[in-house]
Structure 1
Amino acid sequence: MEMIPMMQSFVFQQPASVLIRTMPLITLISLSYLGFSEIIGKHLQYSKFWNVNPQSNSNQTKLSSKTGMLMLYGPACLAGFASFALFPDGGIRFLLLKLALTIHFFKRLLEVLFVHKFSGGMSLDTAIIISVAYFASTASMIYVNHLTLGFPEPLIYLKYLGTLIFLIGIYGNFYHHYLLSKLRHKTERGYKLPKGGLFNLVICPHYLFEILAFFGIFLISQTLLSLSCAVGSALYLAGRSYMTRKWYLSKFENFPVGVKALIPYIF
């Protein structure tokens, strides 16, 4: 997958390996397919979409949401921590990338343990698919950046801007997860209309800030693979947020129609 000249100013030259050169395209296609599948009703089975198609769930192994979420983020978090031992050197960019990925998934584990209130469940198949995707993308982004050590730096330096965007994204994601956790008491299992923060404008602001965090990670690493991961994740979360808004519209007669899915006033 060759880079066009304009991209060469802000993305590292790709290593010579055929596998490494094809990974960005494979990643983008795979994540885009998952986003399209959400829109046509073929959901990854977790959260509020666990019971959308009960017949298809009858033959699947069900996990508790908490167990499933720990499976989702645990391997990727371990990959982040392991990268400090496996690749102890590499300069400030590589350090920032390892920190960003590790912090992102460690934060998600802490939220699962201490913030989220769960309902529904998760299929084992879904847990495996997402867990493998997170682990593979985390390990691959770290490894590809390791391979670029010694390559000429991109003409435009974006790692510090990326760090700022990542921090905004991870804080906004946490803040809106916290607001969701305050919607119901420990004994409650039903869904309520979220409020506060950007929930007055979009139904999935936590996804919006997660997308910001992923683009922050791309700007830190400045590789084509991390760009594909960011764009692909954005497309998947856009599909998921679109269907989440549609789900709320079907469940709540008083859902404010002016509240968009992901981007205030636009989408």
Structure 2
Amino acid sequence: MEMATSFLFPPPPSILVNTMTVVGLAALPVMVLSELRGNNLKYSKFNNNNASSSPSSLSSSSQRFSSVSSRTGMLCLYTPAFLAASASFFLSPSQDLRFLLLKSALSLHFFKRIFEVLFIHKYSGEMASDAAFTISSGYFSSAALVLYSQSFTPGLPEPGLDLKFYGVVMFVVGIVGNMYHHVLLAKLRKEGEGGGKKEYKIPKGGLFGAVICPHYMFEILVFWGFFMISQTIYSMSLAMSTTFYLVGRSYATRRWYLSKFDDFPKHIKALIPFVF
């Protein structure tokens, strides 16, 4: 306990934040096992909404009500969280440097995601509306709770180990590395591709020669950057949740590539070069 207090602020006097922290940590095994077993969130190559019509398929009329275009769905995922982070500058004004850095990092992170949806990623097909709503709610609540938890820290004694500037460095490395590899992924899709059949290729360039999900690896750095900037228990639980979820998702992604490509290089790991 004493070691934890050396790098963490004390738990906030909020039943909501403390409950969500416990819930998030308790859900870790479920999230990982779900991904490992193939019960993936339906917003990527694992999305089967685009399967051709069959007797068991939904009618085209009902599909219109149960799905949205992938681009619209992805915008719905990130926009509420971006608005929450941006609004915090006005709803929770503070001269506290740590709080200001956290607001800025969260706003930049979700702005970057929206920018990628609009100008970098190439999409085809649709996204299930219920998946879009669920994931969007998760991002929004996580961003709001990280900021709400931080709002209790101004005026408190700083943790003995101040990590906020290391967190800024980790966040910058993570967001730049994540975006760079997203650009490489987008270049795999042919110009003009988007409305027809999806075409996947083995990614190349950057760290794709070592791991199949370097963008996830850098995404994990982003969330640990959030934690190091904020140093709250909730942000730590969020970083842990994100890490374990993306570990499971990267494993599922590598397994998917192995099933689709006979020539997939076996030395390419899922997330961590030479390790996993």
Conservation of the 8 A alpha-carbon contact between 1:47 and 1:121: no
- Return the letter of the residue paired with 1:260: K
CA distance in 2, matches of 1:171, 1:227: 22
2:244 counterpart of 1:235: yes
Hey, what does 2:222 align to over in structure 1? 213
- Residues 150-200 of structure 1: CA deviation (Å, up to 9, x unaligned): 221100000000000000000000000000111122333311110000000
2:126 counterpart of 1:121: yes
Hey, what does 2:142 align to over in structure 1? 137
Task: Please state how far the C-alpha of 1:22 moved relative to its aligned partner.
Answer: 2.2
Gaps of 5+ in 2: none
CA distance in 2, matches of 1:256, 1:79: 42
Percentage of matched positions with identical amino acids: 54
| 2:171 alignment partner, one of 154, 159, 166 | 166
Task: Please state how far the C-alpha of 1:53 moved relative to its aligned partner.
Answer: 10
Task: Please state how far the C-alpha of 1:28 moved relative to its aligned partner.
Answer: 2.3
- Residues 63-106 of structure 1: CA deviation (Å, up to 9, x unaligned): 22101110110000000110000112141100000000000000
- Return the letter of the residue paired with 2:168: T
CA distance in 2, matches of 1:28, 1:71: 26
Task: Please state how far the C-alpha of 1:202 moved relative to its aligned partner.
Answer: 0.5
User: Cα 1:235–1:53, aligned 2, differ >3 Å: closer, same or farther?
Assistant: farther
User: Cα 1:249–1:114, aligned 2, differ >3 Å: closer, same or farther?
Assistant: same
Count of residue pairs brought into register by the alignment = 264
CA distance in 2, matches of 1:169, 1:253: 31
Hey, what does 2:46 align to over in structure 1? 49
| 1:248 alignment partner, one of 254, 257, 260 | 257
Conservation of the 8 A alpha-carbon contact between 2:49 and 2:126: no
Q: Which has the larger radius of gyration?
A: 2
CA distance in 2, matches of 1:152, 1:36: 39
- Return the letter of the residue paired with 1:147: F
Task: Please state how far the C-alpha of 1:36 moved relative to its aligned partner.
Answer: 1.9
- Return the letter of the residue paired with 2:251: Y
Conservation of the 8 A alpha-carbon contact between 1:207 and 1:237: yes
Conservation of the 8 A alpha-carbon contact between 2:258 and 2:264: yes
User: Cα 1:68–1:231, aligned 2, differ >3 Å: closer, same or farther?
Assistant: same
State the TM-score, normalizing by the size of structure 2.
0.91
2:202 counterpart of 1:193: yes
State the TM-score, normalizing by the size of structure 1.
0.94
User: Cα 1:57–1:180, aligned 2, differ >3 Å: closer, same or farther?
Assistant: farther
Bigger drift between 14-23 and 51-60 goes to: 51-60
- Return the letter of the residue paired with 1:226: S
- Residues 204-244 of structure 1: CA deviation (Å, up to 9, x unaligned): 10000000000000000000000000010111111111101
Q: 4+ residue runs of structure 1 moved beyond 4 angstroms?
A: 52-60
Gaps of 5+ in 1: none
Q: Aligned Cα RMSD in Å? A: 1.8
CA distance in 2, matches of 1:96, 1:194: 34
User: Cα 1:243–1:57, aligned 2, differ >3 Å: closer, same or farther?
Assistant: farther
CA distance in 2, matches of 1:252, 1:30: 33
